Amino acid sequence: MRGAYGLHAREFLLWLYQLQHARTKHVVFIGILEKIFDEFNRPLGFQVQLEGAKVPREIGAIVDEFVVMDWVDFGDGKPVRAFVCTSPNPWGYPAKDRSGKLEQIEEPHLGKLLAKLVDRHDPVSPPKQT
Tens-digit pLDDT profile for residues 64-112: 899 999 999 988 889 999 999 999 999 989 999 999 999 999 999 998 9
Q: 101 by DSSP, 3-state: which? A: coil
pLDDT in the model for residue 79? 94
pLDDT for 2: 55
Range of the domain at 60: 2-117
- 2-28 residue pLDDT tens: 556 677 778 888 888 888 787 777 788
User: How many structural domains does the chain have?
Assistant: 1
pLDDT tens for residues 36-62? Answer: 899 999 988 888 887 777 777 788 788
String of b and e for 25-53 (b: at least 16 CB within 10 Å)? eeeeeeeebeeeeeeeeeeeebbbebeee
- 107 in any annotated domain: yes
Residue 73 domain-assigned (yes or no): yes
Determine the pLDDT at residue 122.
Answer: 67
- List b or e across 102-113, with b for residues whose CB sees 16 or more CB atoms inside 10 angstroms: beebbebeeeeb
Residue 80: name the closest of 92, 91, 96 by CA: 91
| Residue 46 placed within a domain | yes
Q: Residue 57: helix, strand or coil by DSSP? A: helix
pTM of the entire predicted model: 0.76
Please check whether residue 102 lies inside any domain of the structure: yes
- Inside any domain, residue 11: yes
pLDDT for position 102? 95
- 56 within a domain of the structure (yes/no): yes
**What distance in Å separates the CA atoms of residue 92 and residue 84, rounded to the nearest whole number?**
10
Residue 123 lies in a domain: no
Q: Is residue 130 part of a domain?
A: no
